[in-house]
Structure 1
Amino acid sequence: MAIHCTLLNVGLKEVFMDQAIESGQSLSVRANWIKWIVLTLVSLVAGYAIVLMYAQNETIFALLTLVVVASGVVIFAREDTYSHRYIYPGVAAMVVFIIFPLMYTIGIAFTNYSGTNQLTFERVQTQFLAKTYDQPNSAYQFELYQVENYKIQLHFEKNGENYQTDAFNLGASEPITLAPSNGEKAGTKAAIRFIIQNRDALTKLNIISSDGHPLSMSGLREFSASSPLYQLQEDNITLVSQFDGEILKPNMDAGFYQAINAQGEFVGDTISPGFVVGNGWKNFTRIFLDKGIQGPFIQIFIWTVIFAGLTVLFTLAVGLVLASIVQWDELKGKAVYRMLLILPYAVPAFISILIFKGLFNQSFGEINQLLEGIFNFKVNWFTDPYMAKTMILIVNTWLGYPYIMILCMGLLKSIPSDLYEASAIDGAGPLDNFFKITLPLMIKPLTPLLIASFAFNFNNFVLIQLLTNGAPDIIGSSTPAGHTDLLVSYTYRIAFEGGGGQDFGLASAIATLIFIVVGALALLNLRVSKKQQA
C-alpha cells in the first residue's frame, strides 16, 4: 500500500511538472508574440516618420531616427544582443540628447546658417520661381456684389469696357472666366469691410480675363494680370527676370542669388532669401580677425574666466569660513545658524536673482536708498560696467556659498582632532590652525569640486540673463554684446537676438570653442580625481 502511494505521488509530481513546463512555454510563446508585435508597430511608425522627415529635406533627423530605432529593434529582436537591452535606453538618450546636438552644432559652425540663410538651395529657387509681377496696363477695377444663396459676383471695368463673372461661391477653386457685360448689376454691393475680411479667399480665386490671362487681386479694388517674375534656364540654376531681363545666378560663396554682368561677374547686392552653404573656417576666422567681433569676444572671454575664477574663490572663502564657525564647539545655537546659512541654497535661484535685481535697482532699490541715506551717494549698478560686474559677483557668491559650506562642514568632521590638540600644545591660535591645518587638508578633496564649480559658472547663463541680460552694451560691436555677458549669453544673443543677431553659424563656432574649454576642464577634473584616488 505504501509503495502504491509513493508511486502515485511521483506520478502526480511528474504530471504537475509537465503542466508547469507547458504553461511556461505557453507564456514564453505569448510574450514572444507580444514582443514582435510591438517591434513591428515601432518599426512602422518610425518608418513613416522617417519618410516624412526625408520628404521635408530633414535628412539628418531622418538618419538619426533610422539609426536609433533600427539599433533598438535589432537589440530587442536578436537573442545574441538581447542582453544589451538594459543599457540601450541610456546609450540612445546619450546619442539623441548629447552626441547628436553636439555634432549638429559643430556642423553648423562650418556653414553660413543665419536668419537670412536658412533654406536649402532648392527651396530658395522654388520661392524665386513662385514670384510674380503685374503686367503694365493690365489693372481691372472691380466691384463685388452679394447675390442670392450666399453667392457673389464680380464686376470689372478696364478702359471703359465692362466685364463680369457668373455668380459663384466665395471658396470656388475652378477657373472663372470673365465675360463682356452691359454694365447692369444685380444684388447688393459689398462694403470694403467685407472685401478686407475675405481678402485671402479673393486672392486665391482663379480668374481668367477674356483674352486668356490669369488675374490676381493686387489691391482692395483692383485685379491685375500677373506673370512669373523669373524664368529658369536650361542649366537649372540661372534665373532671368521677365520684367527687366536681369540675369541671376547663385553665389555659392555668399549663399544668395545675385545679378551678373556681361562678363559673368557678380554685381550689385545679394537678393534674399539666401540658402545654406558651407563656408569652411570662416566663422572661426571672423572671431579672431573681424574687429567688430574680435574685441568684444576677447573682452567677454577674459571676463568669463575672471567671473568663474572669482566666484570659485569667493564662495570657497565664505563657505569655508562659515563652515568653520558653525563647527566651533563653543558656539551656541549652531543648528539655528546652520539652517539660516543654508536657506539661500533652498530658495530657487531664479527667485533670488529677481529679488536681487529689485534690491540693486538704481532708482528705487533698497541698497541704493541705504547708501544714499548713510553716505549720500548712489551706485550705477546696471549702467557702469565695473559696478555691474561687482553686483554679479556679489549675487553669485550669495547663491554659491551654501553649497561649498555644506561640503566643508562634512570635510571638517574628517580632520582628526589630535592635530588641533597638538597645535594647541604648541601654542597655536585659531588663525594658525585654520591656515596650517584646516585649509591645507580641505583643499585637496575640494579641488575636483572647485574645478566643476568653475566649469558650471563658466556657463552660468541664467544669472546673466535674469540679472543684467548682458548690459551695459559694448559700443562698437557688430554683434549683440554687453560688458557683463559671459560667452554662453553672448552666444545666445548672437543666435537669437535681432540687430546683428540670428547668426547661427557664428554662434555655433563660439559654442564649439566653449565646448573645447569646458571639455578640457572636465578632463582636468578626471585627472585630478584619479591622482587623488591613486
Structure 2
Amino acid sequence: MQSHQAADMAIDASDMENSTKTTLNHKKWLKWASLGLVSLINGYATILMYARGEYAFALLTLVLTALGVYVFARKSTYAHRYIYPGVAGMILFIIFPLMYTIGLAFTNYSGSNQLSFDRAQSVLLQQTYQSGDSYKFSMYEQNGLYNIAIQEDGQWYVTDSLDLAQLPEQDILLSRSEAPQGDKAPLKVVISNRAALSAITLASADGTELKMSGLRNFAEIQPVYVLQEDGETLINQRENITLKPNWEIGNYQAVDDNGAFVGEPLSPGFIVNIGMDNFVRIFTDPGIQGPFFKIFVWTVLFSALTVVLTLAVGVVLAQIVSWEELKGRGVYRVLLILPYAVPAFISILIFKGLFNQSFGEINQVLEGLFGISPAWFTDPFLAKTMIVIVNTWLGYPYMMILAMGLLKAIPEDLYEASAMDGAGPIDNFMNITLPLLVKPMIPLLIASFAFNFNNFVLIQLLTNGAPDMIGTSVPAGHTDLLVSYTYRIAFEGAGGQDFGLAGAIATIIFLLVGGLSLLNMKFTKLESE
C-alpha cells in the first residue's frame, strides 16, 4: 500500500515538474517573441528615420531599443528591468535634448538654413521662369473628356481628348487642327481642375514645351537652374551665372571667373557645421555682445534679488505668525500661504492688469495720492522693479513655510540664555534666529537662485522682454532673462530664426546652471558632514 502511495506521489511530482517546465518554456518563448517584435518595429522605425535624414532620432531609437533588449534578454541584467524605464526617460527627456541642443550650437541651423544639402538643391532645381511667349488657352468638353486648345495667328493647336482625373505621365502633344469640337468650358471648370492642368506639359511639333502660367495662359517655362555633371554646380539659365555651394555658410552662391564667391547667398540654405562661430558671435558681435552681457547681469541680479527678498519677507512673516501671543495665527498663516496655492500664471496675469499704466488699480491709487502714473512697461528700470515685486509675491510663501518649520527646531534654551545676558528681540533675531535659519536653507536658496535664473514663464507672461533694446542684431529686451532671450532668438528673429545661436546661448546657460547644481551638491555634502 505504501509503495503504491509513493509511486503516486512520484507521478504527481513528475507531472508538476513537467507542468512547471512547460509554463517556463511558454514564458520564455513569449519573452523572446515580445523582444523580437519590439526590435523589429523599432528597427523599421530607425531605418525610416535614417532614410529621411533624421540621424539623431534614428540613433536615439537604436540606443533605447538596444539597451532595452540587453536588459530584458540577459539573466545577469534582468534584475535591472525596474530601473530601465527611469534610465530610458532620462535619456529621452534630459540627455538627448541636451546633446541635441549642444549639437545645434555648432551648426548654422536657422530659419533660412534648415534643409539638408540634397533637399536644398532639389528646391532650387524646381524653380522655373517664363522663357518665351505666353499663349491663351481654352478647354472644350466632349463626353466628359476635355481638349486643350491654343490659337495662334488664326491657327488652332489642339490636344487629344484628356481625362483630367487620369493624366498621362509623358508630355501631351499639341497638333494643328480645325476649330475644336465640343462645348467651351467656363472659367469655374478651369479653376476646379487647376491642380491637374498645372501638372500638364504641352509639347508642340517643334519641341517647345508649355506649362500653365495663369488661369487662361500656357507659356514656355524653363528651369531657372540646371545641375552640372559634378552634382554640385548650378547654372542660372536666366542670368547665365555659375553658382556653387559655399560650405562655410551653407548656401549656394555665385562665383566669379577665379572661383571666388560673390553676391548674395541663395535661399533656402543647408545645414553645415560652423565650429565655434556661434560662440564667437556672442562675444564679438556688438549687436549681440552688448545685449548678452546686459541680460546676463540682469539675470544674475534678478535671481539674487529674488532670493534675498523672498527670504527676508518669508522669515519676517514666519516670525510674526509664530508669535504665540498673536491671536488668529491660523487665519493669518492660511492667508499668507494663499499666493503659493494659486497657479503662478493666474497671479502673473492679474498683476499685469494691476500694473497697467492707464487702467491699473496701482496707478490709479498712486495718481490719486501722489499725482504720479509710472510707466511700468515702457521704462526699463520700472519694468525690472515690477518684475522683482511680482516674483517676490510669488516666492515668499515657500520661504515662509520653510522658515516656520525651522523655527520650531530652534531650542528655547538659546533664547532663555540670551535673555539672561540682557539681549533684546532684535539681538535674538540677528544672532540666533537668522543664522540658525539660513545655514540649513543654503542648498534651497541655491536651488531657488537656479530656478529663477531660468524663470521663463514670469517674463513671457508679464513683459515678454519689453521694453526692447535698440540697435541689436537679434531681438532683445531690457527685462529679458537669458532663457527668454534665447527663446526670442530661436523663434522671433526678424532676420530669420537662429536656432544655432540660440543653442549656443542655451549651452552657456546649461554650464552656468550646472555649476550652480555642483555648488549646491557641495554645500549639501558639507551640511551633512
2:494 is matched with which residue? Answer: 499
C-alpha distance in 2, partners of 1:194/1:384? 59
- Checking the alignment, whether the CA contact within 8 Å between 1:231 and 1:241 is kept in structure 2 is yes
CA separation in 2, counterparts of 1:529 and 1:10?
66
Q: Residue 140 of structure 1 aligns to a residue in which SS?
A: strand
Check if 1:69 corresponds to 2:61: no
Q: Does 1:476 align with 2:471?
A: yes
2:107 is aligned to 111
Which whole-Å CA distance do the structure 1 matches of 2:16 and 2:340 have between them?
A: 58
Query: Could you tell which deviates more after superposition, 345-354 or 495-504?
Result: 495-504
Alignment partners' CA distance in 1, 2:86 and 2:208: 62
Point out the more displaced range, 14-23 or 390-399: 14-23
Alpha-carbon distance in 1 for matches of 2:328, 2:415: 23
1:451–1:525 contact (8 Å) kept in structure 2: yes
Q: Which residue of 2 aligns with 1:79?
A: 75
* 245-254 vs 479-488, which moves further: 245-254
Contact 1:388 1:484 in 2 (8 A): yes
Instruction: For 1:210 and 1:501, locate their aligned partners in 2 and report how far apart those are by CA, in whole Å.
Output: 47
1:308 partnered with 2:315? no
2:106 partner amino acid: F
Higher mean C-alpha displacement, 238-247 vs 465-474: 238-247
Q: 1: distance between equivalents of 2:7 and 2:443?
A: 68
**8 Å Cα contact 2:138/2:184 also seen in 1:** no
Q: Following the alignment from structure 2 to structure 1, what is the Cα–Cα distance between the partners of residues 485 and 364? A: 32
- In structure 1, the residue matched to 2:442 is 447
TM-score by length of 2: 0.96
Residue 291 of structure 1 deviates from its aligned partner by 0.5
Q: Does residue 375 of structure 2 align to residue 380 of structure 1?
A: yes
The answer for the alignment partner of 2:44 in structure 1 is 48
Asked whether 1:165 is paired with 2:156, we answer no
Does the Cα contact within 8 Å between 2:136 and 2:217 map onto a contact in 1? Answer: yes
CA deviation vs aligned residue, 1:59-78 (integer Å, no higher than 9, x gap): 22112211110121122112
Alpha-carbon displacement from aligned partner over 1:330-371 (angstroms, at most 9, x marks no partner): 111111111111111111111111111111111111111111
Residue of structure 2 aligned with 1:128, choices 124, 140, 147 = 124
Which residue identity lines up with residue 509 of structure 2 in the other structure?
Answer: I
Q: Is the 8 A contact 1:479 1:501 kept in 2?
A: no
Q: 2:96 aligns with which of 68, 77, 100?
A: 100
2:182 aligned partner: 186
Amino acid at match of 1:118: Q
**2:164 & 2:329 partners in 1: Cα distance?**
80
SS of the aligned residue for 1:398 comes to helix
Identity of aligned residues (%): 60
Q: CA deviation at 1:12?
A: 5.8
Matched, 1:533 2:528: yes
CA distance in 2, matches of 1:437, 1:460: 33
Name which of 366, 370, 375 aligns with 2:365: 370
Are the counterparts in 2 of residues 110 and 505 from structure 1 also a CA contact under 8 Å? yes
- Partner letter of residue 274 of structure 1? G
Q: In structure 2, the residue corresponding to 1:471 is in which secondary structure?
A: coil
Which amino acid in the other structure matches residue 478 of structure 1?
S
Cα deviation, 1:441-489, whole Å, max 9, x if unaligned, reads 0111100000000000000000000000000000111110000000000
Cα deviation 1:151-208 (Å, max 9, x = unaligned) = 33322123443212233232333043222232344214312x4433432222122433
RMSD of equivalent CA atoms: 1.8
Q: Is the 8 A contact 1:258 1:271 kept in 2?
A: yes
Work out whether 1:519 is the aligned partner of 2:514: yes
- Return the letter of the residue paired with 1:130: Q
Q: Do 1:172 and 1:205's aligned partners in 2 also have CA atoms closer than 8 Å? A: no
Summarize the alignment of residues 409-428 of structure 1 with structure 2, pairs less than 5 Å apart: 409-428=404-423
Please say if residues 149 and 180 of structure 2, whose CA atoms lie closer than 8 Å, have aligned partners that are also in contact.
no
State the shift of 1:22 in Å: 3.0
- Supply the distance in 2 between the matched residues of 1:259 and 1:62 (Cα, whole angstroms): 35
Q: Are residues 316 and 146 of structure 1, via their aligned partners in 2, closer, same or farther at CA, if it must alter by over 3 Å? A: farther
Aligned residue-pair number: 527
Equivalences for 1:57-456 in 2 at 5 Å? 57-137=53-133, 139-149=134-144, 151-174=145-168, 175=170, 176-191=172-187, 193-456=188-451
Which stretch of the first structure deviates more once superposed, 438-447 or 12-21?
Answer: 12-21
Taking the aligned partners of 1:10 and 1:459, their CA distance within structure 2 comes to 76
Structure 1 spans left out of the alignment, 5+ residues: none
- SS at structure 2 position matched to 1:136: strand
Secondary structure of the structure 2 residue equivalent to 1:249: strand
Q: Is the 8 A contact 1:480 1:501 kept in 2?
A: no
**Residue 269 of structure 1: SS of its match in structure 2?**
coil
